Amino acid sequence: MSERTKYLLDESQMPKSWYNIQADLPKALPPVLHPGTMQPVGPDDLAPLFPMELILQEVSTERDIEIPQPVQDIYKLWRPAPMYRAHRLEKALGTPAKIFYKYEGVSPAGSHKPNTAVPQAFYNAQEGVKKLTTETGAGQWGTSISFAGNIFGLEVLVFQVRVSYDQKPYRRAVMETYGARCVASPSQETVYGRQVLAERPDHPGSLGIAISEAVELAAQRDDTKYALGSVLNHVLLHQTVTGIETIQQLEMADVQADVVVGCTGGGSNFAGIAFPFIGQGLRGGKMPRIVAVEPAACPSLTRGKYAYDFGDTAHLTPLTKMHTLGSTFTPPGFHAGGLRYHGMAPLVSHVKELGLIEATSYTQGECFAAGVLFARAEGIVPAPEANHAVKGAIEEALRCKREGRSETIVFNLCGHGHFDMVAYQKYFAGELTDEQYDEKELAMALSGLPSVPSNL
Ligand SMILES: Cc1ncc(COP(=O)(O)O)c(C=O)c1O
């Protein structure tokens, strides 16, 4: 009998709770600081921006946090997500490794982002919020929160990073189909956007700037809150449905992961697949190697400084300790728009500092080559962000080939690339350059890091 390709769970096997890694960490996460007082922020400081339930999840140390039934009901539109054995990729590489991928591109938005968009919209609606503002890079997050906002009756305004807004017009059309409004950032709609445009009218935008615009508007109105698609603890928490399902699916396949790979922008899809495995390891089970893959043009985990910094460019957010390239750093306009963020999730940064994960970086050309190889072997065209995970998994499989080891590699194929075909066209036309970030700009952005008391 030939070996199985798809590992599918029944709806009844969908996780009923999210996994909170803060329950198992050997050392607690450094506190979030108020930039004015340099004191840890409390729930009331965050209340203008987020509903209380999400603020409580942000600081919770409870291991299992129940997924509300209305959220589970929406999750069932695409969850449990399939896990595949990449037989044909293994053959193409000639590797003795077993390669599995968890496919999050089956969601309505085409990526992992609805895993957190749905609970965020649910908790906001429950607390009487009427409107959400947010940023989006590639458009995956904007699409997801537009989808989720519509389900729970919320108005949604999305600031899309200018370079992605121009590269991916169909993403905006999808957001509008769900009833949201999407504007290019920097925009004329906020004080900060107007200030940036006055200095540089052709500014390509960045996630840091788009966050500032969305936060500025949310902070002004009681009925409006802000939603973030990555970085924060509660976002990473919601994504753990991915890893929890993957662990069950690997059991079905009767294997244990030796290596877990994910791409990192703000860290949410990576944490989603990795944290449940790390948790098992911290509780005495097998600890696989965990590999984060980031773009060489925006390498926060591999080249950034572990320091307190702002989450946005206008410095409206609290200070979090994370690997950062500096909040004023504008990465080059490469095509994995979702990975163009100056910082890394504090929880991902923390587990990196604790030595629980490894990090590596590749250029966009290398990642597109890997994505094309994957598409030709497995049929799915990955999102440019996901190509980084594909590249990381392929490198691990080739290492296994060199070493003659039959390890089990699992990676998060966090989204499809159907709205990213212009990037693929450019790749085939030889027009995709591997842009380097500007070393001088990086040094300047890092020199502007806020100073915090030395004991933190
Ligand atoms: C498909 C896809 N993958 C990855 C990312 C990066 O975000 P994160 O690191 O939070 O998963 C994005 C962000 O927009 C995305 O759209």
User: Is residue 203 one of the residues assigned to a domain?
Assistant: no
Residue 103 above 60 pLDDT? yes
* 36-51 per-position pLDDT tens digit: 999 999 999 999 999 9
Distance (Å, rounded) from C-alpha 191 to C-alpha 199? 13
Q: What is the pTM of this model?
A: 0.96
Indicate if ligand 1 lies below 6 Å from the C-beta of 266. Answer: yes
Number of CB atoms found within 10 A of residue 394's CB: 27
CA dihedral 297, 300, 302, 308 (to 10 degrees): 160
Q: What is the pLDDT of residues 423-448, one digit of tens each?
A: 999 999 999 988 777 888 888 889 88
Report the share of the chain in percent with pLDDT over 70. 100
Residue 30: per-residue pLDDT: 96
Note the pLDDT of residue 454: 74
* Number of compact structural domains in the chain: 1
Does a structural domain hold residue 415?
yes
Integer CA distances (angstroms), 281 to 33, 187, 244, 355, in order: 30, 46, 13, 13
* Residue 105 is assigned to a structural domain of this protein: yes
Region 374-398: what's the mean pLDDT?
Answer: 98
Give 120-138 pLDDT, tens digit per residue: 999 999 999 999 999 998 8
Q: Is residue 52 part of a domain?
A: no
What's the 3-state SS for 122-135?
HHHHHCCCCEEEEE
The pLDDT of residue 261 is above 80 = yes
Average per-residue pLDDT for the chain: 96
312: CA distance to ligand 1 center in Å?
Answer: 17
Query: Does 263 map to a domain?
Result: yes
Instruction: Name, in order, each residue with C-beta under 8 angstroms of 422's C-beta and a sequence gap of 6 or more.
Output: 167, 168
| Cβ of 90 below 6 Å from ligand 1 | no
Q: Residue 430 falls within a domain, yes or no?
A: yes
189: confidence class by pLDDT, cuts 50, 70, 90: very high
Q: Is 83 in the pocket of ligand 1 (CB under 6 A)?
A: no
Residue 1 is predicted with a pLDDT of 52
Give residues with Cβ within 8 angstroms of 213, minimum separation 6: 133, 135, 159, 185, 186, 187, 189, 190, 192, 193
pLDDT tens-digit profile of 214-225?
A: 999 999 999 999
Closest CA to 123 of 225, 24, 200: 225
**Cα separations (Å) of 96 from 90, 250, 291, 378, 405?**
7, 18, 19, 17, 6
Q: 269 CA to middle of ligand 1, Å?
A: 6
Range of the domain at 106: 6-13+66-110+234-446
* C-alpha neighbours within 13 Å on the C-beta side of residue 364: 28
Please report whether residue 396 resides in a domain. Answer: yes
Residue 179 lies in a domain: no
- Of all residues in the chain, what percent carry a pLDDT higher than 90? 88
Mean pLDDT of 387-399: 98
- Assign 59 to helix, strand or coil: helix
Q: Collapse the DSSP code of 136 into the 3-class scheme (helix H, G, I; strand E, B; otherwise coil) and give the result.
A: strand
Arithmetic mean of pLDDT, 86-99: 98
Q: How many Å separate Cα 93 from the centre of its chain?
A: 28
* Mean pLDDT across 145-171: 95
State the amino acid at position 178 in one-letter form: Y
Check whether 282 has a pLDDT greater than 80: yes
- Assess whether pLDDT exceeds 90 at residue 340: no
CATH number of the domain where residue 305 is located = 3.40.50.1100
- Overall average pLDDT of the 160-166 stretch: 92
Nearest CA to ligand 1 atom 1: 415
Q: What is the identity of the amino acid at 142?
A: G
The per-residue pLDDT for 117 is 98
